[in-house]
Amino acid sequence: MSQQREVSREMQNAFVDGQLDAADWTALVERMGSDEALRRELCELRTLKDMVKGAYADARPRRAAPAADRRGWARVAGLALVFALAGWLTHDATERIGAAAALHGVAASGLVVHVASSRGEVVDTALQEVEDYLSDARAAGRKVHVEIVANQTGLDILRAGKSAYAKQLERLRATYPNLTYVACHQTADRLSEQGVKVKLLPGVHFAPTALDEIVKRMQQGWVYIRA
């Protein structure tokens, strides 16, 4: 009787994906000998697998590893120590930004703040933390440089006619000449491909990619924080 039962789709998939145990595999192979419909269905599944694989056979990264790759990655590896100490790079934005308080004890020549989101709570907190950091450094007579690097949807904060933070960013830059803004060219390219014209706020510069800029700054001994 069991020979007459249909082989479930899950079982068929598991067969073509090599996920059956030996006993089930043997039973199914035996069944195939007398079940033409099953053979055809399995053949179709196998063909679909090949089609999916073939569909992406020529997919290659458009951008190779950053030019400063070897040394850059070494710096990233070193950075991992900083992250581990400060508890950054977590998923929770509040926790990430909250950890920025630890910056006050960090002796670094510069701070690169990575903004990859345009969400209000992320940007508001990041800008507030940057201002507090610069203000404290000035009061303590410490020379520091802060750079805000924006990509993905975070690029919006640096776009003329799009940014809800244009005035705040301009005020901050006027108050702290040691604060700079950098936009990711790769993100801008992507927007351009979608027909979006990207114009930056005054004084904002492009970097080839956010990663390039972050790696470059870390090579210079800067500390990285993700907003």
Partner 1 sequence: MKMRGLFGVSAQLRARVEAQREPLFRLAYSWCHDAALADDIVQETMLRALGRAEQLRDQTRLKGWLCAILANCLKDHYRSAGPLEPLDEDMPSHAQSPEAASASSQLAARVRAEIGRLPLGQRQVVTLVDLEGFSYAEVGEILEVPVGTVMSRLCRAREALRARLIDLAAGQEIKIRSIR
Q: List residues near partner 1 by CB under 8 A.
A: 9-10, 13-14, 17, 19, 44-45, 47-63, 65, 69, 73-74, 76-81, 83-84, 88-89, 91, 116-119, 122, 151-154, 186-187, 189-190, 193, 209-211, 214
Minimum distance from residue 227 beta carbon to partner 1 (Å): 11
Q: Which is nearer to partner 1, 83 or 206 (CB)?
A: 83
Q: Which is nearer to partner 1, 22 or 51 (CB)?
A: 51
Q: Report the alpha-carbon distance of residue 96 to residue 126 in Å, rounded.
A: 10
Minimum distance from residue 5 beta carbon to partner 1 (Å): 17
Residues 6 or more apart whose CB falls under 8 angstroms from that of 125 comprise 93, 94, 97, 227
Minimum distance from residue 76 beta carbon to partner 1 (Å): 5
- Look at the block and give the residue holding tokens 């670094």: 108
Minimum distance from residue 194 beta carbon to partner 1 (Å): 9
Taking the alpha carbons at both ends of the chain, their separation in whole angstroms is: 63
Q: Which is nearer to partner 1, 145 or 226 (CB)?
A: 226
Residue among 118, 120, 146, 121 at smallest CA distance from 132? 146
Write the Ramachandran bin of 221: left for phi over 0, alpha for psi from -120 to 50, otherwise beta: left
